[in-house]
Amino acid sequence: MDYFYSFYILVTEFNLFIIKNNPMSERRCKLCQSPYSGRRDKIFCSSGCKSDYHHQLRALSNKVASSTDKILHRNRSILFELLGDHENQRRIDRDALAKKNFRFEYMTGCYENEQGKRYYLVYDFAWIEFKTGEVLLLRRKKMEQ
Ligand SMILES: [Zn+2]
């Protein structure tokens, strides 16, 4: 065995010793904190922990999102009620819309047309606010034609 090879083995063994005994390099499961080994990009000790983690994350996300979803759905219902099945647009006082508990700050999108008029979107409906205190309600499909 030549000197260089012996040195290489020594360095490799030393590195393995450092990795094994360094608490910083010990990998622990993101969910249960159990130590584990395996592929470098692995972050859970088992497929069960991975599944549980994503289930918990989704449940938490759904809980937080559901209150926002309720407001958005209520906004859409208000616009649908005001426009009915057939009307494609209607002007209404902003105050009248506010009295129906329409939440202007909740929308699913927003864009400006070429004239700089801002459209606020709630699913398949939209509204435009005017300085006069009026709001134009629009059915979105007709708007995009
Ligand atoms: Zn685990």
The yes-or-no verdict on residue 101 having pLDDT over 60 is: yes
Cβ–Cβ < 8 Å for 115, 123? no
Q: How far is the CA of 97 from the centre of ligand 1 (A)?
A: 51
Q: Is the pLDDT of residue 145 over 50?
A: no
Name residues with Cβ closer than 5 Å to ligand 1, which is an ion.
Answer: 29, 31-32, 34, 45, 49
Q: Is the pLDDT of residue 1 over 70?
A: no
Q: For residue 122, with 0-12 CB atoms within 10 Å meaning exposed, 13-18 middle and 19 or more buried, which class applies?
A: buried
pLDDT of residue 103: 98
pLDDT tens by residue, 34-83: 999 988 889 999 999 999 999 999 999 888 889 999 999 999 999 999 99
86-95 mean pLDDT: 93
pLDDT reading at 132 higher than 50: yes
pLDDT band at 117 (very low <50, low <70, confident <90, very high): very high
Question: What is the distance in A from the centroid of ligand 1 to the CA of 60?
Answer: 19
> Does the global pTM surpass 0.75?
no
CA of 41 to the centre of ligand 1 (A): 15
Report domain extents, the chain: 67-145
Cα-to-centroid distance, 57 and ligand 1 (Å): 15
Q: Using alpha carbons only, how large is the chain's radius of gyration in Å? A: 29
- When pLDDT is cut at 50, 70 and 90, the band that residue 3 belongs to is low
Judge whether residue 10 has pLDDT over 70. no
CA of 55 to the centre of ligand 1 (A): 14
Joined tokens for residue 21: 């005994």
Task: Quote the ligand 1 centre to 45 CA distance (angstroms).
Answer: 4
Residue 129 has pLDDT above 50, yes or no: yes
Ligand 1 center to 44 CA (angstroms): 5
The helix (H) or strand (E) run that includes residue 54 is: helix 47-83
Percent of the chain with pLDDT over 70: 81
b/e for 100-116, b at 16 or more Cβ within 10 A? eebeeebbeeeeeeeee
